[in-house]
Structure 1
Amino acid sequence: MEKLPAKTGWVWVKSGFALFRKQPAELSTLFLAYMFLMLALGIIPVLGQVLPLILVPVFSMAFMQACVQIEEGKRVFPNLLLTGFRSPAVKNLLLLGCLYLLAAIIAIGASSLIDGGVFWQAMTGQIPLDAKTAQESNMSLAMMFSAAIYVPFAMGFWYAAPLIVWQKMSVLKAIFFSFFAVQRETKAFLVYGLTWALFGVVLPAIVSVIVALLAGNASITIMVLLPLSILLTVVMYCSFYPTYTQIFGKPNITNITDKAVK
């Protein structure tokens, strides 16, 4: 297959918006249900700190499945959150989640080389994560270094979950194919990432400034930014699906789809 042009990254984002527009309420409900479950898991002592990350691959399949449902003209329901748990590959998805956790620990731990462990202590709750802590250390640089360390892991994880479920690959094989698929389409993913940086960071910042100037009330600003953030996050989740189908093709999962909605 020929390499995709850089503009494909923008096409992926537009496709995410197109999918969202077909069932905005349903997709938003699915996302809110997911967030509620994450908050509920966070209440669990000790395990609540790691379970949300370990379960990311399992729950990510709910949104991939939702996009399949939309393409097939079927309604999206909150019970799609169980899609990953109903899959025969659920054990491999949980193993992948454990690798997510390990990668995060490695990336954050590596930041200690820059700031002497300040970012690590802040992330593990040993010290407060505030402006004073950041100003008195190299934490900002350490965060960027940590993000750079995590990039290769992110490349390996990007397609791993759907490859495990839809292509029935082993965990290591899925990570291998995911890494090189992303590496091959670097230009498209750079445009994709920059576009989402614009929509996810710059746009909310501009909106918050405008609302603050017009309303002069922090509560109103939050009331505007919260639904905007939810909308953009859901659209971003929807845009993951076209990045997969563009490279690996549409999944042939009629039987799985039928089981997921029962």
Structure 2
Amino acid sequence: MSVPPEAAPAPRIVVADVPASRGASWLGGGFAIFRAQPMAWIALSISFLVVLLAVAFIPFIGPAISGFLEPVFFASFALAAHKQLAGEKLEVTDLFLGFRSNVRTLVNLGAILLLLRIGIAFLMGAMGFPSMFESPEKMTPEDVANALDGKLWILAFGFLTVALVTAAAWFAPALIAFHGMSTSHALRWSLYAMVSNPGALAVYFLAIFLMFIVAFIPWGLGLLVALPTLFASTYVAYRNVFETPPPAAPAPTAPP
């Protein structure tokens, strides 16, 4: 167990240093949660995609709002998994559990992550990555290949940077939902958890990547399993890495 230096006294949590192999079990735990109530999780996942897509189509501000709300929904999935493991039945309305408390903090987290992604995109452009989306309907595969010639390293840099930002903030929605942390405090703890468990997170994200490759093979039908498994696994990972320390042992009583 390890605690970051100068940690605030509340919430009383510690970060577990887990082995790299544990990352795969997080995804397995997510699948176990999905398998217990599969139809409910499929309904939650489809509803999430429909809501996010509908919001994204709002002119001008839609994509930004979708980015702001993403952590709110991820908090909802963690809360839904917690509710299920407590023995309760899930409902489609559980998709909005994250809106019931700390929603402003979660939206702030979404705004920060969106700004970071936009900043990475601008940085890639400054490094020479071509803008291919101004008139994509006019571009042929040959045009795309020519535009990317010698620029794939910038694409790899952007992908890696976004992945690191995502990993650093992966636990933040659950920390806000379950511990009432501020946005900065949740990001600090989430980043510390990533630094403490790089192997487990690397295995976890590799397992997610492989799962989605397999999910797309049967005409994408595997996404009905992959998406709920991913969403539920966020709670499993959080529970495994962040543990509430046991209460201090009572002081021994003086002999009579």
Q: Verify same fold: TM over 0.5.
A: yes
Match of 1:91 among 104, 119, 122: 104
- Match 2:73 to one of 59, 84, 109: 59
Structure 2: unaligned runs, 5 residues or longer: 2-15, 245-256
| Distance (whole Å) between structure 2 residues aligned to residue 50 and residue 24 of structure 1 | 31
Q: Say which SS state the counterpart of residue 55 (structure 1) adopts.
A: helix
Distance of aligned partners of 1:47 and 1:184 in 2 relative to their CA distance in 1, 3 Å threshold: same
Distance 1:132 1:193, change over 3 A: same
Structure 1 residue 237, shift from structure 2 partner: 1.2
Deviation at 1:162, TM superposition (A): 1.5
Q: Greater share of helix residues, 1 or 2?
A: 1
C-alpha distance 141-229 of structure 1, shift in aligned 2 (>3 A): farther
Q: What residue ranges of structure 1 are gaps of 5+ in the alignment?
A: 208-223, 251-262
Letter in 2 for 1:44: I
- Maintained 8 Å contact 1:109/1:117: no
Corresponding residue number in structure 2 for 1:102: 115
Residues 83-109 of structure 1, C-alpha deviation per residue, up to 9 Å, x if partnerless? Answer: 12111x111111111111101101222
Q: Select the residue among 121, 133, 141 that pairs with 1:131.
A: 141
Residue 61 of structure 2 is aligned to residue 47 of structure 1: yes
1:169 to 177, 181, 198: 181
Bigger Cα Rg? 2
Partner of 2:171: 159
Aligned-residue identity in percent:
26
Shift of the alpha carbon at 1:229?
A: 1.9
Deviations 1:143-177 (A, max 9, x none): 21112222342233111111122111111111011
State which drifts further: 90-99 or 125-134.
125-134
SS at match of 1:50: helix
Whose RCO is larger (CA < 8 A, sep 6+)?
2
The alignment's C-alpha RMSD in Å is: 1.9
**TM-score normalised by the chain length of structure 1:** 0.80
5 Å matches for 1:227-242? 227-242=221-236
How far has the Cα of 1:80 moved from its partner?
1.1
Q: TM-score by structure 2 length?
A: 0.82
